[in-house]
Amino acid sequence: MKNLISITIIIFVFFGCIQSGSNNNKGKMKEGHKVSNIEEKNTVSEYIKKRCDIDIVLETDENMDSLSDNLIYLFLYSFDESCSNNVEFSEYSNEVLFKLLKHYPDQAAKNIIRDEINQDVIFKELSSPINDAISVDEVVESLENSSIDVIIKKKFVTALKGN
């Protein structure tokens, strides 16, 4: 009986140490990638969704090589008409939006059709790239080569070509 109690205590201590160690990931490397402050959450419902959130834009830009659907959703959610007064957000988010579409057309299309996403604002952003270095043709090519729904694809391409 003493052995059973001792083993039980050891197991609780062991699992307690494992859990407390996994909560200290912030800013550390995980499998060769920086652990994103936003990516530490498991679901979108755990995030505070905010419009015009420059931190989401920054996280999206910094993690462009390994974006999750959650981060793509939060980035697209951050677009709103009220952001037009925020010059820093407007310029930076516009640039990152084009990068996102070039690298993640399928995931962007999947998330843009969600109810909470302000599609009109995003398509308006696509019709006027702020940075002259952005190659609209490369983004259009990436979208045309993707497997996204034809209707959404047409909306993206139309916005990008300014028609």
Tens-of-pLDDT digits for all 163 residues of the chain? Answer: 566 565 556 555 555 544 444 444 434 333 333 445 555 544 444 456 799 999 999 999 999 999 999 999 999 999 999 999 999 999 999 999 999 999 999 999 999 999 899 999 999 999 999 888 888 999 999 999 999 999 999 999 999 988 5
Whole-angstrom CA distances from 134 to 35, 84, 105 are 28, 20, 16
User: What's the angle, vertex CA 128, arms to CA 80 and CA 101, rounded to 5?
Assistant: 75
Same domain, 25 and 98: no
Residue in this structure with the two tokens 């190659």, named with its chain if needed: 135
Same domain, 11 and 89: no
List Cβ neighbours of 14 (8 Å cut-off, separation of 6 or more). none
Same domain, 77 and 6: no
Whole-model pTM?
0.70
**Structural domain for 21, as ranges:** 1-35
Residue 133 sits at φ, ψ, to 5 deg, of: -75, -10
Same domain, 75 and 133: yes
Same domain, 93 and 68: yes
Same domain, 60 and 120: yes
Same domain, 75 and 17: no
User: Residue 73 and residue 46: Cα distance in Å, rounded?
Assistant: 13
Whole-angstrom CA distances from 141 to 136, 145, 153, 157 are 9, 6, 11, 9
Q: What tokens does 100 get? A: 């996102």
User: Residue 8 and residue 1: Cα distance in Å, rounded?
Assistant: 11
Same domain, 99 and 21: no
Same domain, 53 and 1: no
Same domain, 22 and 77: no
Same domain, 66 and 84: yes
Residue 33 sits at φ, ψ, to 5 deg, of: -120, 145
Query: How many domains are there within the chain?
Result: 2
Same domain, 133 and 78: yes
